[in-house]
Structure formats: structure tokens, C-alpha cells
A and B are shown apart, each in its own frame.
Chain A
Amino acid sequence: MIRQGVVAAVLLVAPAVVHAQSQKVGAPPESSNMRMVGYNDLQARSAYQPTIHHQGNRWIAYIGHHGGTDEIPTPVNPLTGKAEPNGTSIVDVTDPANPKYLKHLPGAPGTYEAGGAQMVRVCDGASLPHADKLAVYMLRTFGGEAHEIWNVVDPTNPVLVGRLDGLKDTHKSWWECDTGIAYLVSGAPDWRTKRMTQIYDLSDPAHPVKIRDFGLPGQQPGATGAVPTELHGPISTGPQGNRVYFGYGTNKGGMLQIVDREKLLKGPKEPTPENLRAPVVGELAMSSWNGAHTTFPMLKMPVAEFAHDKDGATRDFVMIVDEAILNECQEARQMVWFADVSIESRPMVVSNWTAPEASGNFCQRGGRFGSHSSNESMAAVYYKKMAFIAFFNAGVRALDVRDPFQPREVGYFIPAITDKTDKRCVKVDGKDRCKTAIQTNNVETDDRGLIYIVDRANTGLHILEMTGDARKVAGLP
């Protein structure tokens, strides 16, 4: 009798478990304290970085794309009727409920990370010291071969301003809009790593000036011995903060490197081990099991628990986000780490966060599960209050980070898949076993408090807002 009861219970529960393990086209999104405001399919192109720019009286989203897939290497652009290699989508999101696709600017031919134009940053000419004050400049990667600068003052008609050729294996760059200093993630000839930093002065985007190459000692030309892990991307706090936070590694052997910006830009430039070490003020070597995709500084944060302590009541933190790269959990969990960097020479991880796997059986859903990146906007609306983490098949996760010693999730949104969502496969007995799941790859926010998430598996752009009690965390009405 008991056994019959157990069998009946298993039969009743089983369909729910199966449902939780796979997404279905047409099923509703899964969410908590987050709501979809608008959507655009981005012409079913695999997406990397979204950058939202307040441009005149409009809000424009610039979205970088990976190259196409083996099945569809050059999707058709409905605006031109032509098959175009994935590049940059330019979307007017002034009315977030009705995003308007303005332009697809083709990128480099090639599939996946070999093509496209993954990365994009935007600066106003008015803020760059020596630029055309009427222009709006978009800095983007061009596959693995160059960085390009476009004038997108008319976002429907971008005009090429300049091109930095020969910067191979491009990735997640940073551009200071008030100085024009650009930290371009690339590979340079003779360097022993695929990706390091090439620093340029782009204060006049039409006339780029190279400042120096930078990387970890051991990566420079002519070095021997072990090669330190490659760069993923930097974030600079500009001349005011005088720090650049570099994240090295992807899903293994990560490192957070804290660098004195002034010494980096003005110090000796020859890539010797001594010169590469000179501007470094602190490093945090992570476990061999975790990388560092995004290193997002959150400085001078008062910690309520320490309010009455004589010392250490206000602290500096860096949120480190690893990148999961293998489908269906075939690696160690990639997640979020909070490092207390108040004592810069001795950074220390003080907390961590991951989406609970069991809450969605994410290891069985297909595709990658784990973190990839966070929003990088430092606009007051969310900065040091909430952080948004792209978590692949677990969608976007909203964290309350007001106390980085105890981050907690206050919302999430897992978009529904569409008929355009690309499959993700693993080998089982020598054959591909494929599943289709959302792969939220990157996230960004704007000054209005909207959250933009884009999908690596071609599902498009979802524009979200916080709802319910979670809005209080950010002080939103």
C-alpha cells in the first residue's frame, strides 16, 4: 500500500520535474519581482554586449553580436533583404514597450567568436576632449581582427571614422568617455597570450594614439615559462578613482588585478616584467576552478554591520563574475564573488552567490548554467544597491548588494524560448543530444532603471523592470 502510494506520488511529480527541465516555445517566462516591458528579436543573432546610450532626447541600445552559427552564418536583415554577417544591432528603446530596430551594421564574416562584432561602447563627442562635439562615437570590435570607431549621431546611418587593424582576438574593452582612454582587449604580435590590453588615446577618435601594451608578467614577448591566464576585460574608474580593475580568466584560474591608472598610462611602456608590475597595486588569485569575466568596482560602501566600528565601516568592493563555458554543467560552478579590496594589497573574497541549481534543475535544462557577466552601468539608480547577473539558462538574477558581505537575490527573469532560439548540444554515446534553453549572456541597465538582457542562443533582447518589493531595494517608487 505504501509502495503504491509512493509510485503514485512519483507519477504525479514526474511531469512537473520534466517540465522544469526543459523550456517550451510558447510557455510563459519564469520570473520573480521582474517583468518584461518590451522585446526585440535582434534578427535572431547571437548577442554579447548591450550598451544603452542617452542620445539627445532618445535612448539607443547598441548591441554587439557574435558571428553566426554553422546553420545560419549570415542571417537575413529584414531591413535590407540581404544576408549579413552578424555585427551590431542599433535599437531605439526610447519607448521600451515598443523598441524599434533601426539598423544592423554588419560585422566580420565568420561564425561564433571568430566573426561578428561582440563588443560595443559609446561616447558622446561632447565629452571626449578632442572630438567632434556634435558626433556620437561607437567603438566596436570587428571579429578577431580590428577595432572600429563609427559616428552614430544618426543611428540609422553610422559613418566609419577610423579602424585599428591588426588587433586580433578582440574582446571586452573599456572606454573612458571623459578622457578618451580606451583599454582594448586584443592579442598583439609576439605576445604569448591570446588576449591582453592595448591602451589607446581615443580622445580624438579620428586620430588614435597608441599608449602601451599591458598584461601579466610572463605574457610579454620573449618570456619563457608558464603563461598566465588571458585577459577578459577591464573596468576603469577614470582619473578620479585612478584605478583600473582587470579581470583575467574565463572559467579557470582567474585573477583580479588592481592597477594604478596614472602609473599605467604614464609609466615606462616597454613590456618588461618590471614595467608590467610597476602599476599593479594588488592582485587576487582565484581558485583554479573559477575565472574572472567581469570585475565591477563598488567603492566606498558603508557597511551597516560595521557602522559603530572605529575602522573599516566603509569599504571598497569588487564584484567578480566568472563565465561558465560548458553546456550542462560539465565544469565547476561559475558564479559571483565579492572581494573586499579596502586594503588593496590584500584583497579578500568575503562572500559569494549562485543561482540555486535545484530551483530550476538548470543542469538538465540544456546549454550553459552559471554566471557570465553583470551590468556595468554605474548610474545612480542601481549602483551599489542592486546588481544584475546574466546567468545563461537561469536568465537574469537581481541581487541586493547593499551589504556585499551578504548578497541576496531579490528577483529573476528567465525569458521564454522562441522558435529562433538555437539548440545547445552535448555528446551522449558519440551522438549529439541537443536541448533548447535560454542563454542570457549579457545584461545592462539604463539611468531610467530599465534592465536589458540579451541572449547568446539567438532569442533576442528583453527589456525588463523591477516589480514588487524588490523596487524598494533600489529606492524606486
Chain B
Amino acid sequence: MTAARRRTLIQVFLAATLVVALGVLAEIARKRVALGPTDGAGWRPIEWPFPRDGWPPGRAWRNRDGIDVYVRPKLGFCGNCDTGVVTDEEVDRVTDIDLLDERFVPVREGSRIRITDLAGRARLYKLKTRLGAEDVAEGIAVAYKCDLIVAIVAGDEVADESVRKRAHRFLESNTVQVWVNKELEAH
């Protein structure tokens, strides 16, 4: 092979690589745009990470510290439309914590929580990641009449209360609330 031919092949290879890279970047950018913008506090929408199940997929966000928040309405699922979510057993039952690890174990009793005007309960769970590492995540369930809004706060440092509080503030933000209200109104 002549030097000129070799040079041409390298140039073609580099050009093709560039095209593929640009295509991948464009696809990533397209998906990012489709998912929505990052909010002022740094919460970036990510794809719903769980496989298809009986409920419509929810929405998920990740912040700069690697904390994930997964939210979805479960319409008509509240155990008691009058009292809302008042027991830890119901939090175990209705949140999506089992999607992270079916063998989750509660860390301790849960506590009451209020997300904007919706009340319910939150509970911390110990679980194992797919790689077998121990982790902690928080399950949250609040009710509006017979409808539930469930959320998970997952990622490093979730055992830290200040980290969870930051996630709770995000759950109360317009980014989440506008979407949640739209979903509830569709019912």
C-alpha cells in the first residue's frame, strides 16, 4: 500500500469516526432536549429507569450530587381514600422501592411527610444495588383523595437527612408539581 493510499484511508476512517461521534452526540442532545431542561437547582431529567409494569412510567431526575428522584402517580390506588397514607405497611406496599430491590428492609419506622398540600408517609430502606453493594433509599407516598403520588429518593448519602430534605424541596418545586398536577387532572 502506498503512503498516499494509507493517508487517504486514515482520513476516511477519521471522518467516519467524527460523523458517528457527532451522531451519538446529537442523539444524546435530542434525548436530553426531549426529557426537558435542567432546573435552577441542578436537577436534570433522566429516563425512567425501570422496566414496564402495570403502572404508566413516571419521571426521574438526577442532581449534580448523583441523587436520583423517581416520581409517579398511582391513580385510584390509595388503600383508604379518606385517611390517605397513614401506615408504614402501606408505604412498603405502594412505593416503587421494590423496583430497586425486591428484598428491601426498612431501616426504622417511617414518619409523616407533607409535599406541598399532600400528606403521607416516608420511610428509609436498606437495599442492595445490582452490583451487590449496600445502599439506602427513601420511599415516599402521599395521597390526593384516592390517588397516590409515590417517590423514591436514591443514591449516595440518602441516609443523610439534609440530602433527603433537598430532594423533598425538589419534589415541591414547580418542575415536579406542574407535571404531577397535570397527571392528576388527567384522571
Contacts and interface: CB of A to CB of B under 8 A. Distances in A.
Contacts of B101: 225
Contact of A427 (B54, B90, B104, B184): B184
Contacts of A194: 79, 90, 93
Interface residues of B, number: 26
Contact of B187 (A111, A227, A427): A427
B92 interface: yes
A192 B187 contact: no
Contacts of B42: none
A326 B105 CA distance: 32
A194 B92 CA distance: 12
Contacts of A430: 181, 185
B102 interface: yes
Interface of A: 110-114, 144, 169, 191-194, 224-227, 251-253, 287-289, 325-327, 330-332, 426-430
Interface in B157-187: 181, 184-187
Contacts of A252: 54-55
B25 to A, nearest CB: 36
B109 interface: no
B89 interface: yes
Interface of B: 52-55, 75-76, 79-82, 89-90, 92-93, 98, 101-106, 181, 184-187
Contact of B54 (A111, A169, A288): A288
B186 A330 contact: yes
Nearest to B76: A325
Contact of B105 (A225, A330, A426): A225
B55 A113 contact: no
A253 B101 CA distance: 18
B79 A169 contact: yes
Nearest to A252: B54
6 contacts: A144-B80, A169-B79, A169-B80, A225-B98, A225-B103, A330-B187
B175 to A, nearest CB: 19
**In the A-B complex, the 7 residue pairs with the closest CB atoms:** A288-B54, A226-B98, A252-B54, A427-B185, A227-B93, A225-B103, A288-B53
Contacts of B186: 330, 426-427
B104 A226 contact: yes
Nearest to B88: A192
Given A192-B92, A253-B54, A224 B75 contact: no
A429 B185 contact: yes
Contacts of A332: 54
Given A226-B104, A326-B75, A430-B185, A114 B55 contact: no
Contacts of A327: 187
Contacts of A169: 79-80
Contacts of B184: 427
Contacts of A331: 75-76
Given A114-B81, A224-B103, A252-B55, 7 more contacts: A194-B93, A225-B101, A225-B105, A330-B187, A427-B184, A427-B185, A427-B186
Contacts of A287: 54
A326 B104 contact: no
A426 B183 CA distance: 12
Nearest to B90: A194
B54 A114 contact: no
A110 B81 CA distance: 11
A194 B81 CA distance: 13
Contact of A225 (B75, B79, B82, B102): B102
A90 B177 CA distance: 48
A225 B104 contact: yes
Contacts of B98: 225-227
Nearest to A226: B98
A17 B52 CA distance: 35
A247 B54 CA distance: 17
Contacts of A251: 54, 76
